[in-house]
Amino acid sequence: MKISQPTEKPVVVSNNVPASSAKSAPTVSAQAQTAAANSTRSSGVAVTVSTLARALEANNAGQAPDVDQKKVQTVRASIADGSYVVNPGVIADKLLANAQEMLQRQRV
């Protein structure tokens, strides 16, 4: 994980305006288009996608993700019925291990 200032321009992402509405309604008035554009800008979230991330996505586009669907369903069910338990000690240990790994990479 890299924490630093982004070097690329941010991309605005919003889920307020469905993508299909712009394609299916070509006769939308200019006022409606302006209102939609303004609402999208004001409620969007800036996201930066690095060139490396884009390249990785392109390389993995045809591959199925390595996901254990049985485990996902088990966790979903335990969350839904309220029996899922978060172990803060394990989370803290993994955060510390990740920080140590990052520090080791910086020293090399």
pTM higher than 0.85 for the full model?
A: no
Give the C-alpha separation, 25 to 18, whole Å. Answer: 11
State pLDDT tens for residues 14-36.
555 554 444 444 455 666 666 65
The tokens describing 79, both together, are: 């969350």
State pLDDT tens for residues 68-108.
999 999 999 999 999 999 999 999 999 999 999 999 988 76
In a 10 Å sphere around its CB, with 0-12 CB exposed, 13-18 middle and 19+ buried, how is residue 17 labelled? middle
The structural domains of the chain, with segments of one domain joined by +, span 11-107
